[in-house]
Structure 1
Amino acid sequence: MRSNKRIFFGMACALGVLLASCEGQSKKLPIYGHREPVEKTVDGKTIVDTIYQTIPAFQFVNQDSAVLTDDFFKDKIYVANFFFTHCPSICPTMQRNMLKVYEGYKNDNRIAFLSHSIDFKYDQPHVLKAYAEKLGVDNDQWQFVNGSKAEIYGIAEKYLVYTAEDANAPGGYDHQGYLVLIDKQKRIRGAYDGTEDEQVNKLQEDIKILLAETDKES
């Protein structure tokens, strides 16, 4: 079952990157994830609209021991990922690349960053705080959060990112290193391998496209 689940999440994220590459040419990113057609009546006429998968409301504790909810990201686009502070494999590279993107948009209130720790046992607020400071994060634009196993692993599924507690994995946890781009409507607009420079560059390009799209809608 685990291998099938990993394949599912990997294919979903890969599809998002592929679609983003195609749609980027038209200066508009795709919306991906689950979607449902719904019928609406407008001016007496029945039309079919689409309801897209969105990130649900959430509540976690951040690096400052404060409760962080999805309201923090209201009217912003944001980049989210999943990591743990003592990760010996992909996290250091992924977080350094996330830092590059963060530094490019520091103090830009149109965009934020969110890292969910999947180590619900060890990564308490003071650990996350020390990690963020060591990484070079010096404002609240990039939030680091933790919660219960059910909360963190449950929200990961909504981002289409695989996470699992696994004694056989490096550091005791298995997860994917995707940086997931979320729009103001909490829809998934792209997924990028945070360990690959080419993918991170693509994320940076797509952020510009999404910001331009968002500015037009304002």
Structure 2
Amino acid sequence: MHTRRIIVGLLAVAMLPACKDRKLPYLGEPHTVIKTVGGKAIEETDYPSIPAFSFTNQDNKAVSEQDFKDKIYVADFFFTTCPTICPVMKKNMLKVYDEIKDNPTVRILSHTIDPEHDTPAVLKTYANDLGVSNATWQFVTGDREKIYDIGQRHYLITAAEDAKSPGGFLHSGHFVLLDKDRHIRGMYDGTTDEGTYELIRDIRTLLKEYE
């Protein structure tokens, strides 16, 4: 009974409408830039954004930052043979997918950290097994070092080969929410219901910023 009350409570939180006046924070270390407006130099705070990238998706097609232009998206890192947190993360990401799959302005981008094993064909089977059959959720592979670099330096998560970790890889269980300018606007524990429903709520809040 206690567990059922917790689940009902979490669902109630997820069903709450996004607050139009609430604005999500920007994450990452900001820096000051000088811009010229109307002939005057002004200082503005600039937050880091995800740089240009190019990977290969489950359909063996190139995927770049241009495919996410004018899109809000959620990013995560995983590998298909992960014996620990990945199955839970993907179960929770399916909840996010069900929320956004009919919204053309929201996407999901899952990066494998085991590109030698996780070929496009393997990712295609993985996506099919999850019931994902459209462009809303992209599973990508590519150069190992480029995946690790963009994960650790830009998405601010852990992604590395580690022989001591289960499955041989170490990675964060976070879901990362990006706005249309590829700024990080939130990080969520993808291994919990609480983190997942907070993400769903914040996607709604972020969408309100663009109305």
Structure 2 contact 20–209 (Cα < 8 Å) conserved = no
- Give 3-state SS (helix, strand or coil) of 1:57's partner: coil
1:26-69: CA deviation from partner (whole Å, max 9, x where unpaired):
51101111211122332343321012100001000110111111
Match of 2:177 among 181, 203, 207: 181
Percent sequence identity over aligned pairs? 52
Match of 2:114 among 113, 119, 125: 119
Higher percent of residues as helix: 1
Match of 2:79 among 84, 88, 92: 84
Please give the alpha-carbon distance, in whole angstroms, between the structure 2 residues aligned to 1:107 and 1:189: 22
Give the number of equivalent residue pairs.
192
- Give 3-state SS (helix, strand or coil) of 1:138's partner: coil
Match of 1:72 among 63, 67, 72: 67
Amino acid at match of 1:91: C
TM-score when scaled to structure 1? 0.85
Please give the alpha-carbon distance, in whole angstroms, between the structure 2 residues aligned to 1:206 and 1:182: 11
Q: Structure 2 matches for 1:1-218, cutoff 5 A? A: 26-157=21-152, 158-215=154-211
Structure 1 gap ranges (5+): 1-23
1:7-40: CA deviation from partner (whole Å, max 9, x where unpaired):
xxxxxxxxxxxxxxxxx79511011112111223
Large movers: runs of 4+ above 6 Å? none
Cα RMSD of the aligned pairs, angstroms, is 1.3
Structure 2 gap ranges (5+): 1-18
Amino acid at match of 2:151: A
Amino acid at match of 2:148: Y
Please give the alpha-carbon distance, in whole angstroms, between the structure 1 residues aligned to 2:161 and 2:109: 20
Amino acid at match of 1:127: V
- Give 3-state SS (helix, strand or coil) of 2:202's partner: helix
Per the alignment, residue 9 of structure 1 pairs with none
Per-residue deviation, 1:132: 0.5
